[in-house]
Amino acid sequence: MNILSFESSCDETAVAIVRDGREIVSSVVFTQIDVHKLYGGVVPEIASRYHIEKISQMTEECIRQSGLTEDQLDAVAVTAAPGLIGALLVGLNFAKGYAYARNLPLIPVHHIRSHVAANYLAYPELKPPFLAMIVSGGHSHIVLVKDYTEYEILGRTRDDAAGEAFDKGARVLGLPYPGGVHMDRLAKEGNPKAMQFPKVHFKDAPYDFSFSGVKTAIVNYVHNAKQKGEEFSVPDLAASYSDAITGILAENFLRCAREHHQKTLVIAGGVSANSMLREKLLAGKSPDQKLFMPPLSLCGDNGAMVGAQGYYEFQAGHVADLSLNALSAFSIENQLC
Ligand code: KG4
Ligand code: ZN
């Protein structure tokens, strides 16, 4: 089954064709980073406008690269929630139009579910149940993936997402947007034990995260140092800050896995590209736990992950009609249709 899939929930316009949920036939991603960089963050109206400008030509390009004819496409999948509402609506309406014009089933896909499904493209042997940690610019969740379309949230952020914390920290260090990848690079040159950043744990919810404290701490540190005219090492700060964030993520995820007797662990989302996080998880997991980490090309937003998850949504009968709407917020546990 060939699924034409669309992703436009934030600042990437992405289209892909995926076969049977596991094989990328073609995938094109246009990132708007260079535009939003000028503003230090994603400007929703600009994101929507670029999606509108790009989506049609990218669809043509994706189909061309696949070598398939349009008659060989069997369904359309699209990110319907959560995300920037104007941005989501562009992909959703384009997908609806395509599905209607060619009389194809329309499959709504949850963005966080699709991040998890990115791993299905890289690891044919990976099947639920497993424990997943999804860490991106907008989300930090520990989720029990009971089946391909059945989830239970065991931990979540109480405030900022891990990616937001990386981006904010990078910004005060003067690094370009989005800062996670630059922070990762600089951290390799610094001493992670040079500074102590606060790590928050909740007694009543041991798998929940909070990153607002560590974020405020780096902002205050840099402002104070600048006011006093004191020198500080940017690589040391980047390393210590990354150590605090990845420490919280790895500790909570591994603790959750231990306490829930999970042997198969999966990470996903933009922050799952972080090298310190990967090292900590590999070092901290027990020998009988298997850890799946997506290739870097599938960590960030892309259309292929939508086609992967879309396949399993279709198998479960989750097909929408043309009244389908986009939603800016929606739990991974709930069904879009
Ligand atoms: O999954 P994603 O592409 O978009 C959302 O759904 O949010 O995640 C983007 C986030 C950004 O905050 C970006 O800075 C972060 O992922 N990121 C990283 C790395 N690469 C991307 N954070 C830490 N280390 C990285 N190597
Ligand atoms: Zn994402």
Position 275 confidence tier, pLDDT thresholds 50, 70, 90: very high
With beta carbons less than 8 A apart as the criterion, state whether 218 and 257 touch: no
2-116+298-315 and 127-294 have identical folds: yes
Distance 299 CA to ligand 1 centre (A): 8
CATH class of 2-116+298-315: alpha beta
Question: Measured between alpha carbons, how far is 19 from 122 in angstroms, rounded to an integer?
Answer: 13
Instruction: Write down the pTM of the prediction.
Output: 0.97
pLDDT given for residue 307 in this prediction? 99
Q: How does the average pLDDT of the chain come out, rounded?
A: 97
How many Å separate Cα 59 from the centre of its chain?
A: 22
The mean pLDDT of 44-64, rounded to a whole number, is: 98
Q: Are strands 12-19 and 23-31 parallel, antiparallel or unpaired?
A: antiparallel
Binding pocket residue ranges, ligand 1, CB within 6 Å: 10, 136-138, 163, 166-167, 178-181, 184, 269-271, 273-274, 300-301
Question: Measured between alpha carbons, how far is 80 from 87 in angstroms, rounded to an integer?
Answer: 10
Ligand 1 atom having least distance to the Cα of 9: 6
Q: Which residues surround ligand 2, an ion (CB under 5 A)?
A: 136, 301
The mean pLDDT of 194-206, rounded to a whole number, is: 94
How many Å separate Cα 286 from the centre of its chain?
A: 25
The mean pLDDT of 289-300, rounded to a whole number, is: 98
With beta carbons less than 8 A apart as the criterion, state whether 222 and 232 touch: yes
Tell me the one-letter amino acid at 91.
Answer: G
Ligand 1 atom having least distance to the Cα of 300: 3
DSSP bridge partners of 38: none
pLDDT tens digits, residue range 13-26?
999 999 999 999 99
Question: Measured between alpha carbons, how far is 12 from 137 in angstroms, rounded to an integer?
Answer: 13
Distance 300 CA to ligand 1 centre (A): 6
Contacts of 236 (CB under 8 A, 6+ apart): 190, 191, 194, 195
Name the closest ligand to CA 168: 1
Distance 165 CA to ligand 1 centre (A): 10
Domain boundaries, the chain: 2-116+298-315, 127-294
With beta carbons less than 8 A apart as the criterion, state whether 273 and 299 touch: yes
**CB crowding 23-43: b at 16 or more within 10 Å, else e:** ebbbbbbbbbeeebeeeeebb
- Left (φ > 0), alpha (ψ -120 to 50) or beta: where does 175 sit? beta
Question: Architecture of 127-294 per CATH?
Answer: 2-Layer Sandwich (3.30)
pLDDT given for residue 146 in this prediction? 98
In degrees, rounded to 5, the angle at the alpha carbon of residue 253 between the alpha carbons of residues 164 and 158 is 45
In the 8-state DSSP scheme, what is residue 324?
-
DSSP bridge partners of 268: 134
**CB crowding 121-152: b at 16 or more within 10 Å, else e:** bbbeebebebbbbbbbbbbbbbbbbeebbebe
Query: What tokens appear for 1 in the block?
Result: 């089954």
Query: What tokens appear for 326 in the block?
Result: 């986009």
DSSP assignment of 165-200 equals: HHHHHHHHTTPPSSTHHHHHHHHTTS-TTSS-----
Tell me the one-letter amino acid at 94.
Answer: F
Q: Please compute, for residue 106, the number of CA atoms within 13 A of its CA located in the half-sphere on the CB side.
A: 23
| Residues composing the chain | 337
Give the torsion sign (CA, 114, 118, 124, 129): negative
Position 273 confidence tier, pLDDT thresholds 50, 70, 90: very high
The mean pLDDT of 188-217, rounded to a whole number, is: 96
Ligand 1 atom having least distance to the Cα of 167: 14
Secondary structure class of 319 (helix, strand, coil): coil
